[in-house]
Chains A and B, each alone.
Chain A
């Protein structure tokens, strides 16, 4: 079991599925839970099929060295996107993600559209599928680069079950989940994995092997907090001036 991969997949999947749950709950509130759950089931089935087909094809036909290089670069770019957004959110340059606001917005949109059962089902499908696509990218990239598909799939599966269980129990958007912190952690982890694997495939010798990942994670965390601090200071200086 690769615990780095499991943790990153678990956190990323939880965050994305919390956002998907908000859309499904909004559809359920306006149009009833039958079309909302049907759309969700179809989307989860499509995502599982995508992971199986692409995962098997990649593992079977692409040599591991090439795979680690390409996947490492993709993972790095993916992680940079997450880490950048997280820094901007924590420094106040971008608004923090708020599930209760997202829920209200989605309910208002659905009410104004007066959508039927099919459109409601399609909205739930789109929401879950699009949010789940990021999880598929993480499962595929981390699973193939570390040869740890079971860990990546298990992590994403635990995330899905946790969010589903909480959603069914509460029947309300999961506003208490520290989504923004989780996104920050996932961004740091993905950027560290991407740097490690892309670097390894380009001839970098990491002195402590996979243990270097812990140092990369710590260093990227420090970099992110430094950036947040600098941006906040800059904002404060502008306000004073």
Chain B
């Protein structure tokens, strides 16, 4: 199982940041699904940028 934790470590440093990024992607998917394709990009960027700021502040 050591290789599994190596692979996990390659992508995850702060699990909460990963969770926030996945939620941001889900929000973008939702906006795209209801036809707000152009706004979805701006919202996705703002949510991810906000997630980064929150994650580093909580360190």
A interface with B by C-beta (< 8 Å): 73-74, 76-78, 80-81, 83-85, 87-88, 91, 93-94, 130, 133-134, 137, 191, 195, 198-199, 202-207, 212, 216, 219-220, 223-224, 226-227, 230-231, 234
Contacts and interface: CB of A to CB of B under 8 A. Distances in A.
Contacts of B25: 73, 76, 198-199, 202
Contacts of B10: 78, 81, 133-134, 137
A203 B18 contact: no
B21 A87 contact: no
Contacts of B48: 76, 80, 191, 195
B1 interface: no
Overall SS of chain A's interface: helix
A11 B53 CA distance: 24
Contact of B44 (A74, A195, A231, A234): A195
Overall SS of chain B's interface: helix
A80 B17 contact: yes
A80 B56 CA distance: 11
Contacts of A91: 56
Nearest to A82: B13
A153 B52 CA distance: 29
Given A77-B21, A78-B11, A199 B56 contact: no
6 contacts: A81-B11, A137-B10, A219-B49, A223-B49, A226-B53, A227-B57
B28 A84 contact: no
Given A77-B11, A84-B13, A203-B28, 17 more contacts: A73-B25, A76-B48, A77-B18, A77-B21, A80-B17, A80-B21, A80-B51, A81-B11, A87-B56, A93-B56, A133-B6, A195-B48, A199-B28, A206-B41, A227-B53, A227-B56, A230-B57
Contacts of B56: 84, 87-88, 91, 93, 227, 231
Contact of A223 (B17, B21, B33, B52): B52
A76 B17 CA distance: 11
